[in-house]
Structures are given as structure tokens and as C-alpha cells.
Amino acid sequence: MRIMILGAAAAAAFALAACGNNAATDAPAADAASFPSLAAASYRAEAVSTAADGKQTRVVQIRSGPKTRMEFASEQGAVVMLFDSAAQSAHAIMPAQRMAIRLAAGGPDAFAVSDPSQIWSAGAQGATPTHTGACAVAGETGAEWTVVKEGAAPNVACVTGDGIILRLRQGDRVTWEAVSVSRGPQDPQLFVVPAGYALQDFSAMSPAGSDQADPAAPAGAPGAISREEAIRMAQDMAEKAKRSQ
């Protein structure tokens, strides 16, 4: 199931408490002996995400341990996605409608712009990453890790010693590349649904690539709804409610 997240305008005001120095000399040295945890560091990164069709999207990724905030622009406006791997939760926020949508968590996310740690974990599932050299991106240094699966292009990640993904590559195609990285504590309010927002729950749908997803299920069947469809349905509901007032 192919999933594309499209949303309305992003929140107009939020605090970014990104502190610290982004110089490579301040980053922990990459340890070639073991793959680092991707859910430990706190940082703000700007990056470029490249889709399979070559379309590039500028992304702001804000992370605090297991919690991730992704901000990017779609054709319909700005999008804010919230992920919490510890709580197994995912939300799409639509400030224009003052609405949030609870989405299914788990499994790889196949929409245009995803959390790079989810992309890597999906590609590396069932395999052991192999250290294949050193790398440098956006003024940061890291270790390059490769996963090779039969019949698939190699997945390669450039990762700092403290678990920040600097670059992802599938074969010769770069899918994620950091432009800048700033380490430091992040405002906890960046990772929660704003108070007063209406909440629509579409978490019962099966995420793409999950064990529950049924590839034979017809479009529109329970469990077969895509995240794009869920957001459009919620937007339609909000517009109808507004017109009925």
C-alpha cells in the first residue's frame, strides 16, 4: 500500500530549544564495533529527502530520544508529523482545521517524507548492518553501514557515533541527506498534539509493510485505508462541520 501524507499549514509558532555546537569535533566518535542507537540523541537537523521519482523535499527533523517531529511542505501546504517509537504512536497535525489525526504506528512508513530511522529500520529488518567505512556529511563525521539483501539494492547509512543519520542511500540513489545538525535539548511541547485540537482516530488502519496489512484487501475496506485517505476524510469532516454551523 503506497502512502503519501499531505496536510495543511504547520503550526505558526513553536519554540526550538536546540542548543549546543554542530561542529564535527563535538560529536562522539563513530564506533565501528557496533551500530549506534537511533533513539538516544536530542538534536535538530535540516535535510533533503528524495523520493523514488526524484522529487526533493526540504525537511526539518527534531528529535528527543524516541520522539521525532518532521516538518515539511506538500502541495497542499505545510505538514507536521509526530512519531514516538517508545509509545508506538504517530500523529498528523492540521493546524488550519485545528485537527490532529492519530495514525497507525509500526511497520515502515512509505509516504514521501519519513523519519529516516524508520526508513533505515525497515530496509535493515532481518539483516545485520556491516561497517563499510567512514563518511562525512554536513560538517559531521560518522561510520558507514551497509545492509545487503538478496534481490534488493544495498541500503547504506552514514551515522554519527551518537546515532544521527546523516545520509541514506539505496543503491546509487540518495534518499536522505542532512544539510545541518544542531545538538541539544528540545522543547517537549514540540512532540505533543496542541491542546484544544479535535482528534480523529484512524489508528485501526494497517500501516504499510506491517504484518497486519492485507495486500489483497480492496481499496476502502477496513484496514486497507491509506494515511492519505484518512487525512482527506478528516479534512472533509471538518469542512462539513464548518458549513453546518
Mean pLDDT of 67-95: 85
Rg (CA), the chain: 18
Structure pTM?
0.74
Distance CA 137, CA 84 (A): 26
Mean pLDDT of 154-161: 96
pLDDT top residue among 104 and 69: 69
What do you get for the CA distance between the two ends of the chain, in Å? 36
**Grid cell for residue 150:** 538478496
Mean pLDDT of 21-47: 70
Query: Residue ranges of the domains in the chain?
Result: 24-244
Q: Write down the mean pLDDT value for the chain.
A: 76
- CATH 3.80.10.10 given to domain 24-244: no
pLDDT confidence of residue 154? 94
Residues 224-241 pLDDT 10s: 455 566 666 666 666 666
Residues 168-222 pLDDT 10s: 999 999 999 999 999 999 999 999 999 999 898 887 765 544 444 433 333 333 4
